[in-house]
């Protein structure tokens, strides 16, 4: 069987999901019969279900990729391509995508105070490293790399592991630790032999679970998704004056630089950039999210300040540094 994308477990699984959704609409058709018109019933059905344009585009992209490969790469026994030419398949403009919602400091306190311990630690790590959810839940101790010149460590997250993509762009990624992220790591060190973040002896499969959804509801922040912690980190770095290049590296964005081969001086520079969010009074850092609707419910804050870090509402102390 020929797969649409590079043959890794996660991409194969995604191909299968999309093809299963498309099958009732075009599964009976020959390749020559598939075009934008024949895809319209699939599009109409998905829109009627309230599916967003981005999700519909995933299916359309799968069809487009198959048709392009059939016209340009796949060869039959006579040396001819499966299609003479691929039809033009257009994607929908994604005007209905959710707008990012970076948290301000008060909102972060409100939300974090409602989280159970394991989610609190993961959220605190995420908002101080900009890691994606998949990177946080997959984080392993074997990926920790000591930097003896600096008396610290970083995490080198592989793009792939056992055929599964770990990072979004499938490139290896260096995660540096500011003081708060380093404190989280020391708090969970030794709890589990393999995974950094666990719950009841097992690695956490996802952060966006029932506990997260209930916590954000209690905090009056139902609109906040787990991914917005990454947006929050990025916006705070920008507001603190961190350069575009350093923000790229801290967020693991693909660039022309070889971002897994840093000197100690370069790592120190990134740590210092990330530490701009851990000053004596980080609340003075603008969040660049001033244009928000007023009147949101503000529940009683069950947080105290302790040496610049938060003490959570669930009866535990977050890490100190």
Let me know whether 85 and 122 are in one domain: no
- Residue 157 falls within a domain, yes or no? yes
Let me know whether 131 and 214 are in one domain: yes
C-beta of residue 153 within 8 angstroms of C-beta of residue 177: yes
Asked if pLDDT for residue 321 goes beyond 70, the answer is no
- Sign, Cα dihedral of 162, 166, 171, 172: negative
For the chain, the domain total comes to 2
Let me know whether 46 and 126 are in one domain: no
Categorize the per-residue pLDDT at 303 as very low, low, confident or very high, splitting at 50, 70 and 90.
very low
SS3 content of the chain, % helix, strand, coil (to 5): 45, 10, 45
pLDDT of residue 266: 87
Neighbouring residues of 55: CB distance < 8 A, sequence distance ≥ 6: 46
Q: Which of 97, 128, 145 is the last residue before a domain boundary?
A: 97
Let me know whether 93 and 109 are in one domain: no
Categorize the per-residue pLDDT at 54 as very low, low, confident or very high, splitting at 50, 70 and 90.
confident
3-class secondary structure, 7: coil
Residue 23 structure tokens: 């099958």
Distance, CA of 306 to CA of 318 (rounded, Å): 10
Let me know whether 116 and 4 are in one domain: no
Asked if pLDDT for residue 306 goes beyond 50, the answer is no
pLDDT of residue 162: 63
CA atoms within 13 A on the CB side of 150: 20
SS (H, E, C) 17-68: HHHHHHHHHHCCCCHHHCCHHHHHHHHHHHHHCCCCHHHHHHHHHHHHHHHH
φ, ψ for residue 157, nearest 5 deg: -85, 125
- Residue 66 falls within a domain, yes or no? yes
Let me know whether 300 and 253 are in one domain: yes
Categorize the per-residue pLDDT at 168 as very low, low, confident or very high, splitting at 50, 70 and 90.
low
Distance, CA of 91 to CA of 53 (rounded, Å): 9
The per-residue pLDDT for range 180-226, each reduced to its tens digit, is 999 999 999 999 999 999 999 999 999 999 999 999 999 999 999 99
Distance, CA of 132 to CA of 168 (rounded, Å): 8
Angle, CA of 227, 230 and 234, to the nearest 5°: 145
Let me know whether 113 and 162 are in one domain: yes
Boundaries of domain holding 17: 1-97
pLDDT of residue 315: 40
């Amino acid at each position: 069987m020929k797969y649409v994308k590079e043959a890794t477990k996660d991409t194969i699984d995604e191909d299968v999901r999309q093809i299963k959704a498309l099958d009732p609409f075009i599964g009976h058709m020959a390749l020559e019969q598939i075009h934008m018109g024949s895809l319209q019933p699939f599009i109409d059905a998905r829109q009627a279900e309230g599916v967003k344009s981005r999700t519909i585009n995933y299916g359309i992209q799968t069809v487009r990729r198959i048709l392009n490969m059939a016209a340009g790469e796949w060869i039959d026994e006579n040396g001819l391509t499966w299609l003479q030419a691929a039809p033009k398949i257009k994607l929908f403009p994604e005007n209905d995508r959710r707008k990012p919602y970076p948290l301000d400091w008060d909102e972060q306190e409100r939300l974090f105070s409602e989280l159970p311990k394991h989610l609190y630690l993961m959220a605190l790590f995420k908002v101080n490293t900009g890691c994606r959810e998949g990177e946080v839940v997959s984080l392993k101790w074997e990926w920790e790399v000591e930097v003896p010149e600096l008396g610290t460590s970083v995490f080198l997250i592989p793009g792939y592991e056992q055929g599964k993509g770990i990072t979004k762009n499938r490139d290896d990624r260096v995660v540096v630790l500011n003081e708060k992220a380093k404190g989280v790591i020391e708090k969970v060190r030794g709890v589990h032999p393999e995974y950094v973040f666990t719950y009841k002896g097992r690695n956490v499969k996802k952060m966006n679970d029932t506990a997260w959804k209930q916590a954000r509801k209690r905090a009056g922040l139902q609109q906040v998704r787990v991914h917005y912690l990454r947006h929050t980190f990025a916006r705070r770095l920008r507001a603190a004056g961190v350069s575009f290049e350093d923000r790229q590296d801290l967020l693991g964005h693909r660039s022309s630089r070889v971002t897994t081969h840093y000197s100690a001086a370069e790592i120190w520079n990134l740590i210092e950039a990330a530490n701009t969010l851990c000053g004596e009074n980080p609340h003075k850092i603008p969040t660049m999210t001033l244009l928000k609707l007023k009147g949101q419910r503000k529940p009683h804050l069950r947080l105290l300040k302790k040496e610049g870090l938060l003490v959570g509402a669930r009866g535990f102390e977050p890490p100190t540094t």
